[in-house]
Amino acid sequence: MYDIIIIGGGPSGLMASIAAASNGKRVLLVEKGKKLGKKLIISGGGRCNVTNRLPLEEIVRHIPGNGRFMYSPFSVFNNEDIIQFFENLGVALKEEDHGRMFPVSNRAQDVADAMFGEMDRLGVERKLDSPVKSLLMNDDKVTGIRLHSGEEFESLAVVVAVGGKAVPQTGSTGDGYPWAEKAGHTVTDLYPTEVPLLSNEAFIKSRDLQKQRARHAPDGHAVHPFRLERPCYLALQPVRRQGNEEKWRPSCHRPHQFHAG
């Protein structure tokens, strides 16, 4: 019997396992892939944009939609806490433009290795190459997990940290949505976010910009030869969420491609 089972070995799952084990809990982290931290290691172009050091009010102001909902989690663990957490693990950080924080080494792998080392120190158990089939439930209470192999593990609590559908090659294939519904949660309409935005514009498809470096506007948006970088896409999210489907219509495949209507 475990205190907490965490499904998913991405950044959220790793942090959850460390937080739980830091509070004396017996933790099992289950990952369906052969490696932990795949999404973390490729984040920030392989450098890992750990957090942002701008004031919280400024960060919230730039979150599309109702960013005020972030005040609650920030009151428990904010950007300065993240910086201190990693520096305490020996990961020296540096601040770049617009408050973005990166490891001095420019290696996302260093961030991942520091987290793996802390998990080892705290005694977090890991089970890799172990896809979860379903949650074990007793009435309305989640009591553990069942793997595709047939193995079952019981726990007092289960944390589902499997991500969405954005990066299926890293394991984010939407497994958690049916589990959440079975446990009584409501799954709202899904929209792509934090993924590249591709264009059919002639100057993009002709690769005229292939030898040009990415350029950042003063607000941090970046345009690359073949795609628009994440900040641009996030800025478009309010348009999509307001139901303006005639202007922006996402396809069902990643990378998500938007067509002007």
pLDDT in tens, 11-33: 999 999 999 999 999 999 999 99
What's the confidence (pLDDT) of residue 225? 46
Give 61's contacts (C-beta < 8 A, 6+ positions apart): 67
What's the confidence (pLDDT) of residue 124? 98
* High-pLDDT (> 70) share of the chain, %: 76
Q: What is the mean pLDDT of residues 71-91?
A: 95
| CA distance from start to end of the chain | 54
Which has the minimum average pLDDT: 230-234, 238-242, 254-258?
A: 254-258
Own/partner contacts of 170-173, CB < 8 Å, gap of 24 or more, are 170/10, 170/33, 170/38, 170/39, 170/42, 171/8, 171/9, 171/10, 171/31, 171/32, 171/33, 171/38, 171/39, 172/10, 172/39
Q: What is the mean pLDDT of the chain?
A: 82
Q: Give the 3-state secondary structure of residue 109.
A: helix
pTM of structure: 0.77
- Taking 60 as the threshold, does the pLDDT of residue 252 lie above it? no
What is the total residue count of the chain?
261
Residue 215's alpha-carbon distances to 201, 220, 222, in angstroms, are: 18, 9, 5
What's the confidence (pLDDT) of residue 202? 81
